[in-house]
Chains A and B, each alone.
Chain A
Amino acid sequence: MTASPTVRSELLRQRSRSARLFLLPMILALAIVAGWPLLRTIYFSFTDASLTNIDAAKWVGFKNYLSWIQLKSGRTIYSGLLVDPAWWNAVWNTVRFSVISVSVEAIFGMIIALVLNAEFKGRGIVRAAILIPWAIPTIVSARMWGWMLNDQFGILNDLFMRVGLIDHPIAWTASSDTAMIAVLIVDVWKTTPFMALLILAGLQMIPGDIYEAARIDGVHPVKQFFRITLPLVKPALMVAIIFRLLDAMRIFDLIYVLTPNSAQTKTMSVLARENLIDFDKFAYGSAQSTLLFLIIALMTMLAIWIGRVKLDGGER
């Protein structure tokens, strides 16, 4: 506290200098593996590039995003990504998928975390076991579930039929009514453990004496949960939800394996890949990727902003 201002600022400068030095490799790596591809993608979205001959790409401006022609009758016809119903369908699918899956995962994650937070024998083993779905690569679990959901050989149908829940096998991934449900089931199964783990970390930060005091005062356990646990775990919960939401917005592998061509489940990433590779519309796919990037960037900024308000302010 008694150090003179000059010494302190010199120390600060030195620290920030070494910090910059330490950050340099990471920034360099990020620029190469993330920055450059991103810039290329944005560039290609303003060209007429095709995968067959990518070097011959010519600049076309905003044509991939929006272009219009005026008919003689005075009518204007719009075309491009911003008026493409397939794109907006994919955006809606993505949002719907993200909101539903993250909500369900938050609820299940909370329940599991509460159970794991209690003292019982073999808790360590249960905690490790619950992480298994999270540890399996998505491609593998999606394939596995693909077979489990199969209408003829699938174990799920067999199980439900034996129990009497359904009277005929359901074609989970084929039918347009159940395709999204199938995807949601698998995603919830896979990522609930992650949610539970983050919430559990939050729960363990809550000091036990608060509960003791509540118990002495005779507060009902349900009230304890809503008045003590929930407010105190909220910062951790919010972090978990924001992480998962951003993750869910770019969902690709699960849907690509399980229901790649169903319009009911096609998300932004799946659609972008289809245009980039299958349809020889590299530029159009790049435009979709760029928009996907912008949407996620916007969400991230929003999340950080909301997160700061909630995390630092504590109250609301």
Chain B
Amino acid sequence: MRAKSILVSLLATTLICSGAFAADLSIASGDTGNGREFLRKQLDRFEKETGNKVKIVAMPANSSDQFGQYRLWLAAGNTDIDVYRTDVIWAPQLADQFLDLTEAMKDVVDQHFPSMIQSQTVDGKLVAMPMYTDAPAFYYRKDLLEKYKKPVPKTWDEMAATAKEIQEGERKAGNRAMYGYVFQGNAYEGLTCNALEWIKSSGGGQIIESDGTISINNPEAVTAVDRAKGWIDTIAPKGVLAYTEEESRGVWQTGNAVFMRNWPYAYALGNGPDSAIKGKFDVTTLPSSKEGQSSAATLGGWNLAISKYTKSPEEAIKLVRFLSAPEQQKERAIEIANLPTLKALYDDKDIAAAQPVITNWKPVFETSVPRPSAPTKVKYNEVSSMFWSAVHDTLSGNGTAADNLELLEAKLTELQGGSW
């Protein structure tokens, strides 16, 4: 508490002393699709409004690579980066290195979904401000479902059956590159998200429950992973085991997949002028194991944190406030289909007109499931790596789901030690 008040007074003094000066800020951000150009556009506006200069430090699109770089920079006390765009799961791991934004943001936090503020709060400290949120959707080809007179699948088995039928039909019709379903199967964080959804939507828990119990080794989870194993090389290309978001979007957007699991950003791009499937697809919630079982969507999302080593905290706070403000979130929603973290925007008429899909996302949040980053704290990356390795091994045929998940449970227990 003392440290906090010192920090606040320090902030206040610097605010008074240097308030009139413009600063050169840097924001580290790894974007997919056309996110970077869009961010630049918003930053140009910020520069005009405040007189500050903001440089984008481009990060690799792969979030694991971003995290590694962030951790190195922060451990070294790097003063060159002021604002970091952080993944929703990083707050507990990097909390010590970021400024507490509780004071600076107290007038605006209430506008956001409480769960999103909650996910960025570690031991009472607001580590980062939500910028946009992410929940994956199930993309389907309207035209193909109509052509084969199939309903939008509700369960995973229904999805697999429909995918197989359409894939075979389309291949006979001449498109040899046609596949039924693409998702993110590379051994990385994305596979953790995908597999968590398969398991959660089959009633198999969420790997590690919020109280810290390791729940992964159960029959429902085994069935869920085995089911996914059955998709490889039948309805999904074998290469899906190396796909991240962009590779699956590549297959999907060239018109070579019936279904895809991906984040909302693929929606705007899929309707872009150079897309082969413009206007031919729609999205819904992901399937579940059976009728009545609720579907699951891994909660993603990106936030803005300020390095505690920044030389101009007050200007950095201005930047974070700007980028998380309603106007910017609204523009982000309309132009690149990023989901706002502000409740009010889900009733916004302009957004509903431009991206009707976003207003439909409210129910997705109700089925959203967090990754176990909060209970596992600094060990989350290792937990996630063990989990995705076990799933990736199963999908590529190294051991059965039952064996691999049992082994995973043992490894997680060992990693847990006395406590997380």
Nearest-neighbor residue (CB-CB) of A173 within chain B: B242
Q: Whole-angstrom distance between the alpha carbons of A50 and B379 in the complex?
A: 12
Q: Is the CB of B378 within 8 A of A176?
A: no
Q: Is the CB of A175 within 8 A of B241?
A: yes
Given contacts A54-B75, A280-B379, contact A174 B388 (CB under 8 A): no
> Could you give, for residues 159-182 of chain A, a 1 whenever the CB lies within 8 Å of some chain B CB and a 0 otherwise?
000000000011101111000000
Q: Is the CB of B75 within 8 A of A171?
A: no
Nearest-neighbor residue (CB-CB) of B96 within chain A: A52
Which residues of chain B have C-beta atoms less than 8 A from A114's C-beta?
none
- Whether, in the assembled complex, B251 has its beta carbon less than 8 Å from a beta carbon of chain A, the answer is yes
Contact of A50 among B177, B185, B238, B378 (CB under 8 A): B378
Q: Mark the stretch among A21-29, A127-135, A147-155, A211-219 that contacts chain B.
A: A147-155
Q: Is the CB of B239 within 8 A of A151?
A: yes
Q: Is the CB of A278 within 8 A of B240?
A: no
- Whether, in the assembled complex, B247 has its beta carbon less than 8 Å from a beta carbon of chain A, the answer is yes
> Could you give, for residues 19-52 of chain A, a 1 whenever the CB lies within 8 Å of some chain B CB and a 0 otherwise?
0000000000000000000000000000000111
Q: Whole-angstrom distance between the alpha carbons of A261 and B238 in the complex?
A: 17
Q: Is the CB of B96 within 8 A of A152?
A: no
Contact of B67 among A50, A150, A278 (CB under 8 A): A278
Q: Whole-angstrom distance between the alpha carbons of A50 and B385 in the complex?
A: 18
- Whether, in the assembled complex, B355 has its beta carbon less than 8 Å from a beta carbon of chain A, the answer is no
Q: Whole-angstrom distance between the alpha carbons of A262 and B191 in the complex?
A: 13
Q: Tell me how many residues of A have a C-beta within 8 Å of chain B.
A: 27
Interface residues on B, range: 35 or more
Q: Is the CB of B239 within 8 A of A262?
A: no
Contact of A262 among B96, B187, B237 (CB under 8 A): B187
Contact of A152 among B250, B381, B392, B397 (CB under 8 A): B250
- Whether, in the assembled complex, B72 has its beta carbon less than 8 Å from a beta carbon of chain A, the answer is yes
- Whether, in the assembled complex, B79 has its beta carbon less than 8 Å from a beta carbon of chain A, the answer is no
Q: Give, as a whole number of angstroms, the nearest-CB distance from A75 to chain B.
A: 16
Q: Give, as a whole number of angstroms, the nearest-CB distance from B317 to chain A.
A: 23
Which residues of chain A have C-beta atoms less than 8 A from B292's C-beta?
none
Q: Is the CB of A278 within 8 A of B256?
A: no
Which residues of chain A have C-beta atoms less than 8 A from B97's C-beta?
52
Q: Give, as a whole number of angstroms, the nearest-CB distance from B75 to chain A.
A: 4
Given contacts A174-B396, A261-B187, A278-B385, contact A52 B378 (CB under 8 A): yes
Q: Is the CB of B250 within 8 A of A153?
A: yes
Nearest-neighbor residue (CB-CB) of A281 within chain B: B382
Given A174-B185, A260-B188, A277-B72; 14 other pairs, CB 8 A cutoff: A52-B75, A52-B97, A54-B75, A151-B238, A152-B251, A169-B238, A173-B242, A174-B396, A175-B241, A175-B396, A176-B398, A261-B188, A279-B381, A279-B382
Which residues of chain B have C-beta atoms less than 8 A from A277's C-beta?
68, 71-72
Which residues of chain A have C-beta atoms less than 8 A from B238's C-beta?
151, 169-171, 174-175
Nearest-neighbor residue (CB-CB) of A275 within chain B: B382
Which residues of chain B have C-beta atoms less than 8 A from A280's C-beta?
93, 378-379, 381-382
- Whether, in the assembled complex, A263 has its beta carbon less than 8 Å from a beta carbon of chain B, the answer is yes
Q: Give, as a whole number of angstroms, the nearest-CB distance from B176 to chain A.
A: 9
Q: Jot down 18 A-B pairs with beta carbons below 8 A, ordered by A.
A: A151-B238, A152-B247, A169-B239, A171-B237, A174-B186, A175-B241, A260-B64, A261-B388, A261-B389, A263-B389, A273-B68, A277-B68, A277-B72, A278-B68, A278-B381, A279-B382, A280-B93, A280-B378
- Whether, in the assembled complex, A53 has its beta carbon less than 8 Å from a beta carbon of chain B, the answer is yes
Q: Give, as a whole number of angstroms, the nearest-CB distance from A279 to chain B.
A: 4
Q: Whole-angstrom distance between the alpha carbons of A263 and B243 in the complex?
A: 17
Q: Is the CB of A174 within 8 A of B240?
A: yes
Q: Is the CB of A278 within 8 A of B396?
A: no
Which residues of chain A have C-beta atoms less than 8 A from B68's C-beta?
273, 277-278
Nearest-neighbor residue (CB-CB) of A259 within chain B: B242
Q: Whole-angstrom distance between the alpha carbons of A50 and B71 in the complex?
A: 11
Given contacts A152-B251, A261-B188, contact A171 B239 (CB under 8 A): yes
Contact of A261 among B186, B240, B243 (CB under 8 A): B186
Q: Is the CB of A171 within 8 A of B241?
A: yes
Which residues of chain A have C-beta atoms less than 8 A from B247's C-beta?
150, 152
Which residues of chain B have C-beta atoms less than 8 A from A152's C-beta?
177, 237, 239, 247, 250-251, 256
Q: Whole-angstrom distance between the alpha carbons of A261 and B381 in the complex?
A: 13
Given contacts A150-B247, A261-B388, contact A51 B71 (CB under 8 A): yes
Q: Give, as a whole number of angstroms, the nearest-CB distance from A233 to chain B.
A: 41
The 9 tightest CB contacts between A and B, nearest first, are: A151-B239, A174-B242, A171-B239, A174-B241, A261-B187, A51-B75, A279-B382, A277-B68, A171-B238
The listed residue with most A CB atoms (<10 A of its CB), out of B64, B97, B242, is B242
Q: Give, as a whole number of angstroms, the nearest-CB distance from A81 to chain B.
A: 15
Q: Give, as a whole number of angstroms, the nearest-CB distance from B399 to chain A.
A: 11
Contact of B396 among A53, A153, A176 (CB under 8 A): A176
> Could you give, for residues 222-262 of chain B, a 1 whenever the CB lies within 8 Å of some chain A CB and a 0 otherwise?
00000000000000011111110001001100001000000
Q: Is the CB of B389 within 8 A of A150?
A: no
> Could you give, for residues 89-106 of chain A, a 1 whenever the CB lies within 8 Å of some chain B CB and a 0 otherwise?
000000000000000000
Q: Give, as a whole number of angstroms, the nearest-CB distance from A211 to chain B.
A: 50
Which residues of chain A have C-beta atoms less than 8 A from B397's C-beta?
176
Which residues of chain A have C-beta atoms less than 8 A from B177's C-beta?
152
Q: Give, as a whole number of angstroms, the nearest-CB distance from A231 to chain B.
A: 46
Q: Whole-angstrom distance between the alpha carbons of A150 and B248 in the complex?
A: 12
Which residues of chain A have C-beta atoms less than 8 A from B187's C-beta?
261-262
Which residues of chain B have C-beta atoms less than 8 A from A281's C-beta?
382
Contact of A169 among B96, B237, B241, B396 (CB under 8 A): B237
Q: Whole-angstrom distance between the alpha carbons of A273 and B68 in the complex?
A: 9
Which residues of chain A have C-beta atoms less than 8 A from B250's C-beta?
152-153
